[in-house]
Amino acid sequence: MKIAVAIKRVPDMDTRFKIAPSGTAVDETGLKFDMSDFDGYAAEAALQINEKQGGGEITAISLGPDVVQETLRKALSMGLDKAVQLKADAVPFDGYAIAEALAAELKGGSYDLILFGRMAIDSSNQSVGPMVAELLGLPCISAVSQLDVSDGKTVKARRELEGAYEEVTCPLPAVVTIDEGVARPRYPSLKGIMAAKKKPLEVKPAQLGPVTATVAKMELPPERAAGRILGENADAVPELVRLLQTEAKVL
C-alpha cells in the first residue's frame, strides 16, 4: 500500500518547561526533541500494514525548519522508505495553516492511506488530520484505537468514546488518525539507523495556509503546594477522611 505518515517533532515532556522571553513560546534551550507519541504509533501502524501485505511504500512528511530532518531520519530508521520536509521557519500553532501545506504536498501523491497521530503532544489541538482530509476531499476516521485495512479497499476502525466505543468504516483512499491502542513504535535497529542515512529525504518549501489562530501568551500553571504523607498504614485513614472533609472539602 502507498502510505503517507505525517510526523511532528516535539519536545520531550519529561522536563520543567520555561517560557521564552517572547512570552508566547516555551524556551527551547536544553530541551530534548523526539517524534510526537501518536505519530510514532502511526508510523508503526503503517509499517505493520505493509509488512502484512508484503510490499508498498511509506513516506514520512514533516513540516518545519531543518531540525525536523532529525525526526524524519528516525522515522526512516524505523523502516519508512522516504521522507519529505516541508520547510518553514517555524511550525505555526494554527492547524489550518499546516493542513493547507500538507494537503498541497499530499494531493498529487496518489496515496492509499494517509496516517496522522491523533494529536501533537505539544500543541494538543487534534485538528490537522481531519482538516487535511477535508482539503483533499477524502473520507477521514479520527482517533482510532483499532485499524484494519487488510482487504485493501476499506478502512475498518474502532473509536473510543466517553463510556462507549463505535465501529466505523470508510472506503480507501482515506485519512486516519491514530490513538492509543493501535501499535507501539519499534526501536530503530542499528541496521535501520545505517540504512536510514541512504534513504531519500526531499526538501520543499511549505505552502502554509492563512494564519488566524495564534498564541498570545504562554505561561506556567501555578505550582502545587508540597503534599504530606499522613501515615504508613490504615491508621492514617481517619486523618485522611478528616482532611478530605475539612481542608479539601471534597467529601
Partner 1 sequence: MPTILAFAEARAGQLRKVALEAVTAARQLAGGDQVHAVLVGEGGIGAHAAALGQHGADVVHVCEHAGFARHNPEALAALLAAAANTTGARVVVLPASAHGKDVAPRVAAKLKVGLAADLTSVAFEGDAIVGRHPVNTGKVLATVTLTAKPAVVTMRPGAVPPAAQPKAGTVQALAPVGDPSASRVVTTTLVQGNTAKLDLGEAPVIVTGGRGLKAAEHFAIVEALAEAFGNAAVGATRAVTDDGWRPHSDQIGQTGRLVSPDLYIAVGVSGAIQHLAGMRNSKTIVAINKDKEAPIFKIADYGIAGDAFEVVPKLTEAVKAARAQS
Near partner 1 in 166-225, by CB under 8 A: 166-171, 179-181, 209-221, 224-225
d(CA 59, CA 79): 10
Residue 83 or 147 having the CB closest to partner 1: 147
Contact pick of 34, 57, 112, 134 for partner 1 (by CB under 8 A): 134
Inter-residue contact 132 to 99 (CB < 8 Å):
yes
Give all strands (DSSP E) within 89-173, no chain letters: 113-117, 140-148, 154-161, 164-171
> CB of residue 72 vs partner 1: minimum separation in angstroms?
22
Contact pick of 125, 186, 193, 199 for partner 1 (by CB under 8 A): 125
Residue 22 or 202 having the CB closest to partner 1: 22
Site string for partner 1, 79-98 (x = CB under 8 A): --------------xxxxx-
- Assess 21 for contact with partner 1 (CB under 8 A): no
DSSP 8-state secondary structure symbol assigned to residue 26: B
Residue 203 or 251 having the CB closest to partner 1: 251
- Assess 112 for contact with partner 1 (CB under 8 A): no
Question: Which parts of 28-57 interact with partner 1 (CB under 8 A)?
Answer: 37-38
Inter-residue contact 167 to 175 (CB < 8 Å):
no
> CB of residue 26 vs partner 1: minimum separation in angstroms?
6
Instruction: Report, in angstroms and rounded to the nearest whole number, the Rg of the chain calculated over CA atoms.
Output: 21
Residue 203 or 241 having the CB closest to partner 1: 241
- Assess 229 for contact with partner 1 (CB under 8 A): yes
d(CA 119, CA 128): 8
Contact pick of 153, 162, 198, 246 for partner 1 (by CB under 8 A): 162
Task: Please choose, from the candidates 132, 142, 130, the residue with its C-alpha nearest in 3D space to the C-alpha of residue 178.
Answer: 142
Q: Give the count of alpha carbons within 13 A of 102, CB side only.
A: 34
Residue 13 or 203 having the CB closest to partner 1: 13
Place of cell 503517507: 4
Q: Give the three cell numbers for residue 50.
A: 505493509
- The gap from C-alpha 37 to its chain's centroid, in whole angstroms, comes to 6
Among 60-68, 71-79, 131-139, 190-198, the segment contacting partner 1 (CB under 8 A): 131-139
